[in-house]
Amino acid sequence: MPTTVVWFHNDLRVRDHAALSAACERGAVVGLFVWAPGEQGERAPGAARRWWLHHALVSLRAELAQCGVPLVLRRAERAAVAVEEVVRASSADAVFWNRRYDPAVAERDTAVASQLRCHGIWVEEHAGGWWQDAVGLAGGLQRRYQVFTPFWRWLANYVPASPLPAPRARATPTSVPASDDLAAWHFLPRIPWDRGFYEVWQPSEAGAHRVLERFVHEQLGEYALRRDLLAAEGTSRLSPYLAHGQLSPAQVWHAVRQATVDAAAKAAFLRQLAWREFAYQLLVEHPDLHVRPLRAQFETFPWREETNDEMVQRWRQGNTGIPLVDAGMRELWATGWMHNRARMVVASWLTKNLLCHWRLGERWFWDTLVDADPANNPFGWQWVAGCGADAAPYWRVFQPVRQGETYDREGAYVRHWVPELRHLPDRWIHRPWQAPGDVLARAGVVLGKTYPQPLVDPDESRKRALATFEEWRRSHTAGHST
């Protein structure tokens, strides 16, 4: 029976994996994962994703073994070389993979495919379990959407293909090429900043299904009401599983549609899932989304880009003196994840109140998020900064005190992540710098000592941001009219 190599990338699962199922149907299969960070340059996975990747590969190896498929790991300068070597060493006559939507990776795949074909190797690219696949797009959308609502109206008409079960290979490979030792890739940190990650995450395919099941049965019905509450476990936390492909969007879609909750709750959640599909179809058209603003005029906006600036350092460390911003940044550092509402608030603080470039924030998130995503991350940053597609207008500045008082009314989120403020009464928890001295003293807070004074005042810095924007807009318009 023939042997097929299945090349994994961000699709580290055995269920609903079209390429794996097709290969197993054909005969023997060798799974391959190539680590070629040089080829990905600055978009190679950051530290938090490498942590996840380590565990995801351990899980994938065990899941594949159940399918009768060995997993080979190869580190390479160029993925193409590793793929060819493994094809040769396993006497395979075909390579299958799931289509990747990240255009930088897709471009590489096209080159690898033509090289393999030149050597007489059969190559097949399969649908990757995306919702958009339901439209039958071989090479992407016929038309790109710049605005979310029409995109959502369009996508909502389609039903993703039913997820495939885990397959079983029809034969055992006659020769299995040598694999690298995963530990030698050093994806796990030497300094143990990842302790908190183990408390929060189960980074395996089985873990992904447990999280999905629990969410659908226990939380989906309340999703629309609770998704913005910072201290509630109101969202699914499926993002890192989706980012690593341990779940496909189609699996999530079908689990949600089968749930016994009302249609409005399902639609509210699926609408969020559609934002991811929206971001990807934008990335396909704008591969440099992480460096270039979608609204080109923002190229000249006077954002500051000094990475070592004290304000940026304090922002990264969660020591800005603004409790909600600090809570979000500390949640990120401790768990590799941050609540969506907090992401918007911390991004707004950096890009507007501190007037720092959104690219600085995007890069920090890229390194620290376990769900760091080539489409969602730059898309989210550009959305908040006001230079993206269908973005919040620049003058929408998230006021962190008001955001806190609305979405963390009792201050539970801040108290959890900024424990030095935990004894402050609810009234002052989001604005300790305005609290009377005796209140601070009773709560054991000494501003500037136990907790920082804000480096900038939220209202004054908001005014400064708006004035900068106005001035830039005027000079920009004047520049265009001359």
**Binding status of residue 369 toward ligand FAD by CB under 6 A:** yes
CB within 8 Å of 388: residues ≥ 6 apart: 293, 294, 295, 379, 381, 382
Cβ(452)–Cβ(317) below 8 Å: no
- Cα distances (angstroms) measured from residue 319 to each of 111, 314, 454: 46, 5, 9
HSE-CB of 228 using CA atoms within 13 angstroms: 11
- Tell me which of 97, 301, 315, 365 binds ligand FAD, using CB under 6 A: 365
Query: Which range of residues in 33-41, 191-199, 299-307, 368-376 is near ligand FAD by CB under 6 A?
Result: 368-376
- Establish if 282 lies at the interface with ligand FAD (CB under 6 A): no
Q: Which of 17, 26, 54, 276 contacts ligand FAD by CB under 6 A?
A: 276
Alpha-carbon gap, residue 368 to 364, rounded angstroms:
6
Interface residue with ligand FAD, options 155, 238, 360, 421 (CB under 6 A):
238
CA distances from 28 to 120, 154, 179, 195, 347 (A): 19, 40, 17, 39, 48
- Total residues contacting ligand FAD (rule CB under 6 A)? 27
Burial class (CB in 10 A: 0-12, 13-18, 19+), 263: exposed
CB of 377 to ligand FAD, least distance (A): 3
Say whether residue 348 binds ligand FAD (CB under 6 A): no
Phi-psi region for residue 129, left (φ > 0), alpha (ψ -120 to 50) or beta? left
For 302, residues 6+ apart whose C-beta sits below 8 A from its C-beta are 355, 468, 472
**Which residue number places its CB atom closest to ligand FAD?**
380
Helices (H), 336-357: 340-348
**250 part of the interface to ligand FAD, by CB under 6 A:** no
Instruction: Rule CB under 6 A: say whether 372 interacts with ligand FAD.
Output: yes
Contact (Cβ atoms closer than 8 angstroms) between residue 371 and residue 243? yes
Residue 350 touches ligand FAD, criterion: CB under 6 A: no
Q: Which is nearer to ligand FAD, 90 or 235 (CB)?
A: 235
Residue 227 interacts with ligand FAD (CB under 6 A): yes or no: yes
Under the binding rule (CB under 6 A), the answer on residue 331 touching ligand FAD is: no
If one counts every other C-beta atom within 10 angstroms of the C-beta of residue 302, the result is 11
3-state DSSP assignment of residue 94: strand
Q: Is residue 316 close enough to count as binding ligand FAD by CB under 6 A?
A: no
Alpha-carbon distances of 132 from 76, 101, 246, rounded to whole Å: 32, 11, 18
Q: Binder to ligand FAD among 272, 399, 406, 468 (CB under 6 A)?
A: 272
Site string for ligand FAD, 154-193 (x = CB under 6 A): ----------------------------------------
Q: Does 373 bind ligand FAD (CB under 6 A)?
A: yes
Instruction: For ligand FAD, give the closer residue by CB, 367 or 405.
Output: 367
Binding site for ligand FAD (CB under 6 A): 227, 235-239, 242-243, 272-273, 275-276, 279, 340, 343-344, 347, 365, 369, 371-373, 376-377, 380-381, 384
